[in-house]
Amino acid sequence: MEKWDIKSNVFATDEENAKLMMVINDIVEETDRLIPFGPPLGFKSLELVNDLVSGPAFYWPLGHDYYKIALNVSDLNYNQIAFQFSQELCRIYCDPRMRSWLIQLLSHLYALYAIDMLGAKWEKNPPNNELKDYWYNFDSYKSNLLGAAFSKVDIVKYQVANEWVKYQVNKLRQKNNVNRGKLLIIAYELLPMFKENPESWQILPYVGKCSMPPPPIDPKEIVENRDAIPNFEKLLEILPQNLKAFGNKFYEKIGAIEHI
């Protein structure tokens, strides 16, 4: 990758790490296509490790010249690797110094998008003959995740009124405990509008900037993970003109427009 210098230390062997990078490179390439101007803190060296205790996670480095992502995988599971990596990569594109329920939601959303993207790409152009039939596993992995999430939630009455997403987002705004299963379902409900508007992913680098409290102005100023609240009014205000229509549509879908 020209923009990224990625080093994988996830597995013990070079062969396994090289195979893992097939997924990583596809996700990074697609992200560069969708958001060509890059993350708010810039392109840096990126190190991948495995952490069976704390991962998946973004490790904030001691210096500001690299990123570090920990996966949590016991074997070469391309589905799991893709889902975990794309979530943490999304954090980098929002601003890894910030943490909010909106960033968590977008991370789930981008992970679902990445899984669909890889399935479609590998069906048409698999990385090698060994993986020529693997594309179907991406869809199966996504279905299993969503099946587990939907099985624990009764959304029938809210689906009828098309209010479930707004109801759940309002609970997130009230700082209730974040339920990852519900986040995944909300992300799934939002995914079609992002697929219909590929430029929509360019809102990610603006999300961290619109946090309360805001991130440091200087991108070289490193702080610990900062818990924040999304500022919907500010986000809509600073979005470039070509993204404002989508911003309004997104806000309407999640019920945020009424809080501006």
Mean pLDDT by 10 residues, the chain (260 residues): 87 96 97 96 93 89 80 95 97 92 96 98 95 95 92 63 78 76 92 95 95 84 78 93 94 77
d(C-alpha 38, C-alpha 32), whole Å? 7
Q: What is the pLDDT of residue 152?
A: 77
Q: What is the pLDDT of residue 161?
A: 47
d(C-alpha 156, C-alpha 253), whole Å? 18
Q: What is the pLDDT of residue 214?
A: 86
d(C-alpha 67, C-alpha 94), whole Å? 14
Q: What is the pLDDT of residue 179?
A: 81
The DSSP secondary structure of 221-243, one letter per residue, reads -----EE-EE-HHHHHHHS-HHH
Beta-carbon neighbour count of residue 85 at 10 Å? 24
Q: What is the pLDDT of residue 204?
A: 97
d(C-alpha 38, C-alpha 254), whole Å? 26
Q: What sign has the CA pseudo-torsion 137, 191, 107, 93?
A: positive
Q: What is the pLDDT of residue 198?
A: 94
The DSSP secondary structure of 105-166, one letter per residue, reads HHHHHHHHHHHHHHHHHHHHS-SSGGGTTTHHHHHHHHHHHHHHHHTT---HHHHHHT-HHH
d(C-alpha 110, C-alpha 136), whole Å? 19
> Domains (ranges, CATH) in the chain?
5-259 (1.10.390)
Question: pTM above 0.85?
Answer: yes
pLDDT digits (tens, 9 = 90+) for 14-25: 999 999 999 999
Token code pair at residue 189: 């409900």
State which H helix or E strand residue 49 sits in: strand 45-50
User: Could you tell me how many residues make up the chain?
Assistant: 260
